[in-house]
């Protein structure tokens, strides 16, 4: 009985907290890593996300699907935790969680808030690849 309760509690904690990252390719945002990726001229997606946000969860599912298709293989994804990284949220001028900001090197190429369709997210990311 006790082990059943413990197992149920672990499952519930995982469901409530959500995944560590919205997409499989995300890495925690750090200013140093972000600046290094910019300096290298990489295509970058900054995902301002919150574990409790259903829109963020949907964006993560769409991103994971795009990556599974082999799209945007060289895209570097940084996830900014909306609740815990307020300084980064302000630096990216993110009005709320579910904000996506795209860069090609040091140039911001696009941004959107609360978009959740595959076409819209792919179109936004593609701005990092257009000349």
Domain-embedded: residue 117: yes
CATH number at residue 83: 3.40.30.10
Domain-embedded: residue 131: no
pLDDT digits (tens, 9 = 90+) for 58-113: 999 999 999 999 999 999 999 999 999 999 999 999 999 999 999 999 999 999 99
Domain-embedded: residue 100: yes
pLDDT score, position 22:
57
Domain-embedded: residue 99: yes
**Mean pLDDT calculated for residue range 40-50:** 98
* Closest C-alpha to 126, from 83, 74, 91: 74
pLDDT score, position 68:
95
The pair phi, psi for residue 128, each rounded to 5°, is: -75, -15
* Closest C-alpha to 124, from 74, 78, 72, 85: 72
**Mean pLDDT calculated for residue range 4-10:** 40
Whole-angstrom Cα distance, residue 127 to residue 48?
18
pLDDT digits (tens, 9 = 90+) for 80-91: 999 999 999 999
pLDDT > 70 in the chain, percent: 82
Domain count, the chain: 1
Domain-embedded: residue 1: no
Q: How crowded is the C-beta side of 122, counted as CA atoms within 13 Å? A: 13
Q: Tell me: pLDDT of 7 over 60.
A: no
E-only strand ranges, the chain: 26-28, 43-49, 76-81, 99-104, 107-113
* pTM score of the predicted model: 0.83
**Mean pLDDT calculated for residue range 33-58:** 98
Full domain range(s) for residue 92: 18-126
pLDDT score, position 14:
36
Q: Tell me: pLDDT of 49 over 90.
A: yes
């Amino acid at each position: 009985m006790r082990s059943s309760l413990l197992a149920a509690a672990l499952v519930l904690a995982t469901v409530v907290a959500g995944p560590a990252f919205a997409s499989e390719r995300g890495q925690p945002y750090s200013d140093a890593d972000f600046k290094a990726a910019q300096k290298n001229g990489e295509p970058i997606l900054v995902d301002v996300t919150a574990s409790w946000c259903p829109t963020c969860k949907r964006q993560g599912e769409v991103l994971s699907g795009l990556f599974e298709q082999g799209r945007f293989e060289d895209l570097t994804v940084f996830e900014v935790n909306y609740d815990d990284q307020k300084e980064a949220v302000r630096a990216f001028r993110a009005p709320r969680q579910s904000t996506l900001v795209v860069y090609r090197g040091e140039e911001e190429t696009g941004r959107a808030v609360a978009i959740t369709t595959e076409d819209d997210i792919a179109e936004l990311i593609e701005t990092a690849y257009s000349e």
